[in-house]
Amino acid sequence: MKRRDFLKSMTAVAAGSLVSAPAVWSPAQAQSRKETLLLVTENGPNNLDIHGVGTNRPGYEASWNTYDRLLSHAKKTLPDGTTSYDRDKLTPELAEDWTTGDMSATFKLRKDATFHDGTPVTAKDVKWSFDRAVTVGGFPTVQMKAGSLEKPEQFVVVDDHTFRVDFLRKDRLTMPDLAVIVPGVYNSALIQKNANEKDPWGLEYTKGNSAGSGAYRVTSWKPGVEVVYERFDNWKGGPLPKLKRVVWRTIPSAGNRRALMERGDADVSFDLPSKDFAELKADGKVNVVSTPIGNGIYYLGMNVKNPPFDNEKLRHAVAYALPYQKIMDAAMFKLAKPMFGADTNQVQSTDWPQPHAYNTDLEKAKALMAEAGFGEGIDTTLSFDLGQGVVSEPIAILIQENLKQIGINATINKVPGANWRSEMAKKSLPMMVNFFSGWLDYPEYFFFWCYHGQNAIFNTMSYVDPDMTAMIDGARKAAGEGDWPTYDKDVKGFITKAFVEVPRIPLFQPFLNVALQKNIGGYSYWFHRQLDYRSLSKA
Structural fold of domain 14-64+193-292+512-538: D-Maltodextrin-Binding Protein; domain 2 (3.40.190)
Integer Cα distance of 260 and 254 in angstroms:
10
Integer Cα distance of 236 and 161 in angstroms:
14
**433: part of which helix (H) or strand (E)?**
strand 431-437
- Residues in CB range of 435: below 8 A, 6 or more apart: 296, 297, 298, 299, 388, 391, 392, 510
Residue 485, Cβ density class (10 Å: 0-12 exposed, 13-18 middle, ≥19 buried): exposed
Classified as helix, coil or strand, 345 is: coil
Q: Which of 384, 392, 385, 389 is nearest to 412 (CA)?
A: 384
Q: Which of 433, 289, 293 is nearest to 353 (CA)?
A: 293
Q: Which of 16, 80, 447 is nearest to 254 (CA)?
A: 16
Same fold, 87-190 and 296-510: no
- Each domain of the chain, given as residue ranges in start order, spans 14-64+193-292+512-538, 87-190, 296-510
Give strand pairing partners of 414: 384
Note down pLDDT in tens along the chain; length 539 residues: 444 444 444 444 344 334 345 555 555 455 467 899 999 998 899 999 999 988 988 999 999 999 999 999 999 999 989 999 999 999 999 999 999 999 999 999 999 999 999 999 999 999 999 999 999 998 999 999 999 999 999 999 999 999 999 999 999 999 999 999 999 999 999 999 999 999 999 999 999 999 999 999 999 999 999 999 999 999 999 999 999 999 999 999 999 999 999 999 999 998 899 999 999 999 999 999 999 999 999 999 999 999 999 999 999 999 999 999 999 999 999 899 999 999 999 999 999 999 999 999 999 999 999 999 999 999 999 999 988 888 899 999 999 999 999 999 999 999 998 788 889 889 999 999 999 999 999 999 999 999 998 767 799 999 999 999 999 999 999 999 999 999 999 999 999 999 999 999 999 999 999 999 999 999 999 999 999 999 999 98
- Residues in CB range of 472: below 8 A, 6 or more apart: 444, 447, 448, 451, 452, 490, 494
Taking 3-state DSSP, the helix, strand and coil percentages for the chain, each rounded to the nearest 5, stand at 35, 25, 40
How far out from the chain centre does Cα 187 lie? 25
Integer Cα distance of 464 and 451 in angstroms:
7
Backbone angles phi, psi at 170, to 5 degrees: -75, 120
Residues in the chain: 539
Residue 198, Cβ density class (10 Å: 0-12 exposed, 13-18 middle, ≥19 buried): exposed
Architecture of domain 87-190: Alpha-Beta Complex (3.90)
CATH H-level superfamily of 296-510: Dipeptide-binding Protein; Domain 3 (3.10.105.10)
C-alpha dist (Å) from residue 258 to 15, 20, 187:
10, 11, 39
